[in-house]
């Protein structure tokens, strides 16, 4: 079986993807020249990635963007990771990223059901009580008058 041939350089539809397409061709040819060479499957995967990048109408900004291309799997994504810039911590409005973790402690709003529950739990803890049953906590929070709304799953104070 003949080794997979390197795809020919062709025009890329989106200028932002030209550098990535060139790196894919370069990676394909360098891996094909190595002593073990590329398997047919690996050659087809790199060719599919090149074809997908060349014909794409959206830019590829992260290695995971390559997974949108049919025939591209984790192996191609892994070997192409060095072709993408490292993610920065600057999340400007145009970029998408994961939400940052909240560092502030949770503080319930005054006169809300969670506020009444927290205050009731605190008061009972100061009295030396280690735990409260759910119904007991709801009844105690209701009786405290700290919430303007009903407390509990059916909000029986508001009925």
Task: Tell me the average confidence (pLDDT) per consecutive run of 10 residues in the chain, 159 residues long.
Answer: 62 81 83 81 82 83 80 82 67 61 85 93 94 92 90 61
Q: What is the pLDDT of residue 113?
A: 92
Residue 109 backbone dihedrals phi, psi, to 5 degrees: -70, 150
Q: What is the pLDDT of residue 123?
A: 95
Question: What DSSP character marks residue 128?
Answer: T
Question: What DSSP character marks residue 134?
Answer: H
Q: Under CATH, which number does the domain 15-83 receive?
A: 1.10.150
Q: What is the pLDDT of residue 52?
A: 85
Q: So where are the chain's domains?
A: 15-83, 106-153
Q: What is the pLDDT of residue 97?
A: 62
Q: What is the pLDDT of residue 81?
A: 79
The torsion defined by the Cα of 139, 143, 149 and 150, in degrees rounded to 10, comes to: 30
Q: What is the pLDDT of residue 6?
A: 62
Q: What is the pLDDT of residue 42?
A: 83
Q: What is the pLDDT of residue 135?
A: 92
Q: What is the pLDDT of residue 101?
A: 77
Q: 37: left (phi > 0), else alpha (psi -120 to 50), else beta?
A: left
């Amino acid at each position: 079986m003949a080794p997979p041939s390197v795809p020919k350089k062709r025009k890329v539809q989106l200028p932002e993807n030209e550098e990535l397409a060139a790196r894919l061709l370069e990676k394909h040819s360098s891996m094909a020249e190595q002593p073990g060479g590329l398997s047919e499957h690996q050659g087809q995967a790199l060719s599919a990635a090149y074809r997908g990048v060349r014909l794409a109408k959206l830019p590829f900004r992260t290695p995971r963007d390559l997974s949108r291309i049919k025939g591209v799997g984790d192996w191609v994504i892994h070997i192409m990771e060095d072709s993408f810039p490292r993610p920065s911590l600057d999340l400007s409005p145009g970029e998408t990223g994961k939400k940052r973790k909240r560092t502030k402690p949770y503080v319930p709003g005054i006169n809300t059901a969670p506020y009444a529950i927290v205050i009731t739990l605190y008061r009972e803890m100061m009295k030396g009580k280690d735990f409260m049953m759910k119904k007991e906590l709801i009844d105690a929070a209701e009786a405290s008058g700290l919430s303007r709304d009903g407390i509990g799953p059916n909000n029986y104070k508001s009925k």
